[in-house]
Amino acid sequence: MMWKLNAPRFGFANGLAWCLICSLLLSGLAGCDSGGSRRARAARAPGSAIDPDELVGRWKLSFVEFPVERDFCLLEITHSNKKFDVKIPSDEKHPGEVKIKSSEIKDDGQVSLVLDLGPMQWSFQGRLDGETVWGTLMIPKYQITPAKLDRTELTEIDHAQEPVQIASVQDFLGAVNASDKFVALNEFVKKKESYRSPVLFQGYANLAKYFKAEKLTLAEIKTAIAEYRAAIEVWGPRLAPKVDLDVGKALGEQELEPALAKELLTAAEKQIGADSPLDWKSDLAESWIQLGEHERGLKLLKPMQELDPTNPFIQMVYAAGKEKAKETDEALRVYAGLAMLPQFERMLSSQKSGPSLVLPSEAAARIWKEKHDGKTAGFDAFLQEAYENQMKLYVPKRTIAKDLPDRQVILMEVFTGSTCDPCVPVDICAEALHRAFSPKELIVIKYHEHAPLADPLANEPGMERFGFYDGKGTPMMMVNGQPVPQVGGNIMMAGAQIKRLQGGIERELTKTSPVGVKLAVTREGDEIKITTSVSGIKTTDNDPRLFLVLLENDIQFAAQNGIRIHNCVARTMPGGVGGIKLKPGPEVEHKVTVSLTQVRAEQAAHLKQFEDQAGREFPSKPIELKKLQVVAFVQNHITQSYMQAKLVDVPDAPESAEPAKEPAKEPAKEPAKEPAKEPAKEPAKEPAKEPAK
């Protein structure tokens, strides 16, 4: 059984939503022309009535996810008493548990549906034309993508089957990569077989980028705009703003026909509503900034920043606007944070090219030199601080939960790797939640794995723990011993995963546990003595065991995947990876001693195996073992069911031999106390969490 994030509802829906967002950012819209690419234009006049039998029956809803058309769900349409009704067939087995929240079908064949997927609602709007209902699927504020309803005799959709690639994609990509792109794209949009494909209007959007180079006259530009409108209108009115937005933006970037550019952008601004995609609004703001109206652009950005403060594309436009407004200190701050953000510059380069591409690292370096007489002294330290501030943006705001004496502390175990690109959003997510919640609510442990390449933060205990859960690859996340689905991806998915997990954690905070764990730590030089008392164990059924993990925080290591500061990293498992068997009793005490000298030696020996195999040493092997903590948790070894956990700081002062009863705010000679919950806005004040500057 999955942990209480509700895997089918949360994971599938959020996963598809963010796949759509990122596919648009990276590649743009693509087509739905399979089965309809060669259909002649239907003769039905707009608004003309249909025979109800034309819509009665079973339909398949599919949508665009470049470069494929993905089948989404089956629908059953019936008609009685002059009314249409839409239902999900009883034999449809959709992993997202889709429900029809509302439906409306008009006499002229217009179909409107609202689909309830639990964490979000999607809406379909389309109109019957020929044998297909052509339209769009919208995720409010995130995406509008071409979609359609096709008649089908299917009784269920095989969601595990690979989706069909769109027929005209290869022709489109060939045109985009041709030596004479304008000629090739022009030939592509003139082909009849591209009709009904959104790849067709993507072709027009790309053509607009070459208007200046091809020296098109104003009349020729307006003709191209009219053709673009004709190509896009078959999908319904919700995509219409893209014509004005795409062409207006292209003209602004080329510094061509500024009056027409402003006219088009003004028209787009009037059409773009509250539920329109964020990237449309971001493009609109960027276009106004490009045309010199930076205040207008910055005003458009403000609500977007409040809605999604972690969106790097929005931040990039904001920085450009601030630079245009001569607020260079603010522009430098934002550029520097984006320059240090994992994966973003690669993503930005894949979306843009040519003279219009400005990388945040280049912009930050340029402004820094302008402010410091061409010198770069202090720039690296400034970038490191910018990285830390960028990570703080992900820390969610939350209401402090009521303290419960027997609360079951939530245990989050993350299996990651410093060379693992899909691990980036999981690492950021775990760090953000680690800062937002106190150790009395949530404890995070990160086990590094050699995946896909050797990792200097990995160790034998972490590999064995990965095997305990039968891990197949990174990233992997376990919460309270249960797998969390749909984690990983790219940097754009971090925000959504944080929201999803935050909601699950807050729901779990109401749970209590009959098992109690007391934990005290003393230190004598490099020796750490751990005393743990476990109470509430009633039976040895399922083999309850005590597990201990030594964590290190604030590890400064520029990983290959872009993560630079590592917290909650598992260094060893005192008492053994298999844990300590527990017996029933009112309170059972266990004592374990850890030698940090031995931990360093074991880590060095472990990494040497990989160095010998590769014939070279790791460039960096961080193993300072500072800012340490100990986690004790109780878990059944057979069922993996989890019961309780506790975390304490390890005192830094070597001379201190007094026990740390609970995590302390400052390392001290006195016993460390359990940390007071700090507001999410100031995560650096939590014990042993503040990154070194």
Place of tokens 């003309």: 48
Q: CA 544, 550, 554, 557: dihedral to nearest 10 degrees?
A: -100
> Domain ends where: 143, 165, 187?
165
Range with the lowest mean pLDDT among 36-45, 383-392, 573-582, 589-598? 36-45
Q: Which amino acid is at 27?
A: S
- Given a contact cutoff of 8 angstroms between Cβ atoms, the answer to whether 239 and 127 are in contact is no
Q: Is residue 688 in some structural domain? A: no
Cβ-based neighbours of 446, under 8 Å, separated by 6 or more = 414, 415, 416, 427, 430, 566, 567, 568, 569, 570
Residues forming a β-bridge with 556: 565
Six-digit token string for 571: 């260094």
Instruction: Verify that 380 and 450 share a domain, yes or no.
Output: no
| pLDDT for 7 | 30
Q: Give the whole-angstrom CA distance, residue 595 versus residue 165.
A: 57
User: Taking the CA of residue 348 as centre, how many other CA atoms within 13 Å lie in the half-sphere pointing to its CB?
Assistant: 22
- Report the pLDDT averaged over residues 489-509: 92
Q: What was the pLDDT predicted at 86?
A: 96
Cα separation of 569 and 456, whole Å? 12
Does the pLDDT value for residue 207 go beyond 50?
yes
* Whether residue 593 has pLDDT greater than 60: yes
Q: Is residue 287 located within the same domain as residue 343?
A: yes
Q: Report which of 396, 424, 655, 691 is spatially closest to residue 561, judged by C-alpha positions.
A: 424
Do residues 422 and 538 both lie within one domain?
A: yes
Per DSSP, the residues of 313-353 read HHHHHHHHHHHHTT-HHHHHHHHHHHHTSTTHHHHHHHH--
Report the percent of the chain where pLDDT is more than 70: 86
pLDDT over 50 at 438, yes or no: yes
The residues, any chain, with a CB within 8 Å of residue 183's CB and separated by 6 or more, are none
pLDDT tens digits for 58-78? 999 999 988 889 999 999 999
* Residue 268 belongs to some domain of the structure: yes
My answer on whether 174 and 157 are in the same domain is no
Burial class (CB in 10 A: 0-12, 13-18, 19+), 297: buried
> Which strands, in side-by-side order, build the sheet including 588-595?
516-524, 527-535, 588-595
Distance, CA of 635 to CA of 493 (rounded, Å): 31
DSSP for 493-526, please give it.
GHHHHHHHHHHHHHHHTT-B-S-EEEEEEEEETT
Q: Quick one: which H or E segment has residue 70?
A: strand 68-80
- Same domain as 654, residue 526: yes
Helix (H) or strand (E) holding 116: strand 110-116
Strand 143-151 and strand 132-139: the pairing is: antiparallel
CA dihedral 352, 357, 358, 360 (to 10 degrees): 20
Provide the pLDDT for residue 355: 66
Same domain for 374 and 512, yes or no, is no
pLDDT of 454 reads 95
Residue 90 pLDDT: 81
Residues 6+ apart with CB under 8 A from 219: none
CATH of the domain at 96: 2.40.128.120
In DSSP terms, which residues pair with 589 in a beta bridge? 533
Residue 4 belongs to some domain of the structure: no
CA distance 417 to 149: 42
Contact 634, 546 (CB under 8 A): yes
* Shared-domain flag, residues 109 and 135: yes
Closest CA to 503 of 407, 431, 396: 396
Asked if residue 150 belongs to a domain, the reply is yes
Total number of domains in the chain: 3
Q: Is the pLDDT of residue 550 over 90?
A: yes
The confidence score (pLDDT) of residue 338 equals 97
For the chain, how many residues are written?
693
Look at 117 and 481; give whichever has higher pLDDT. 481
Q: Which residue has the tokens 């209108």?
A: 233
* 173: pLDDT strictly greater than 70: yes
Q: By the 8 A CB rule, do 311 and 279 touch?
A: no
State how far the Cα of 528 lies from the Cα of 625, in Å rounded to an integer.
12
Query: How many Cα atoms occupy the beta-carbon half-sphere of 580 within 13 Å?
Result: 21
Question: Stretch 334-359: mean pLDDT, rounded?
Answer: 88
Q: Is pLDDT larger for residue 188 or for residue 3?
A: 188
Would you state the pLDDT for residue 686? 43
pLDDT of amino acid 353: 66
Do residues 207 and 189 lie in contact, with contact meaning Cβ atoms separated by under 8 Å?
A: yes
Looking at residue 192, its pLDDT comes to: 64
Helix (H, G, I), strand (E, B) or coil at 327: coil
Q: How far apart are CA 607 and CA 618, in angstroms?
A: 8
Distance CA 208, CA 201 (A): 11
pLDDT above 60 for 657: no
In tens, the pLDDT along 219-258 reads 999 999 999 999 999 899 999 999 999 999 999 999 999 9
**452 preceded by a cis bond (ω within 30 of 0):** yes
**What residues make up the domain containing 272?**
169-392
| Residue partners of 31: CB distance under 8 A and separation at least 6 | 37, 64, 69, 146, 166, 167, 168, 169, 197, 198, 199, 200
pLDDT of residue 655: 52
Structure tokens at 364: 């930050």
What average pLDDT does the structure give for the chain?
A: 87
Task: Indicate whether 2 belongs to any domain.
Answer: no
Is 693 contained in some domain? no
Beta carbons of 491 and 498 less than 8 angstroms apart: no
Q: Which long-range contacts (CB under 8 A, 24 or more apart) does 86-94 make?
A: 86/113, 89/58, 89/155, 91/155, 91/156, 92/155, 92/156, 92/157, 93/156, 93/157, 94/157, 94/159
The pTM for the full model equals 0.78
173 and 152 belong to one structural domain? no
458 CB contacts (<8 Å, ≥6 apart)?
A: 417, 447, 448, 449, 450, 606
Same domain membership, residue 452 and residue 384 = no
Same domain? 442 vs 551: yes
Answer whether 545's CB lies under 8 Å from 583's CB: no
CATH assignment of the domain containing 586:
2.60.40.10
What CATH number does the domain containing 218 carry? 1.25.40
- Three-class HEC string of 457-481: CCCHHHHHHHHHCCCCCCCEEEECC
Are 405 and 440 spatial neighbours (Cβ–Cβ below 8 Å)?
Answer: no
Residue 216 lies in a domain: yes
Instruction: Quote the pLDDT of residue 104.
Output: 96
pLDDT in tens, 265-324: 999 999 999 899 989 999 999 999 999 999 999 999 999 998 889 999 999 999 999 999
Any domain includes 373: yes
Q: Measure the CA–CA gap between 151 and 125, rounded to whole angstroms.
A: 16
157 and 210 share one domain? no
| Distance between CA atoms of residues 334 and 316, nearest Å | 7
Residue with tokens 């008649």: 151
Give the Cβ contact number of residue 370 at 10 Å.
11
Regarding whether 228 and 147 lie in a shared domain, the answer is no
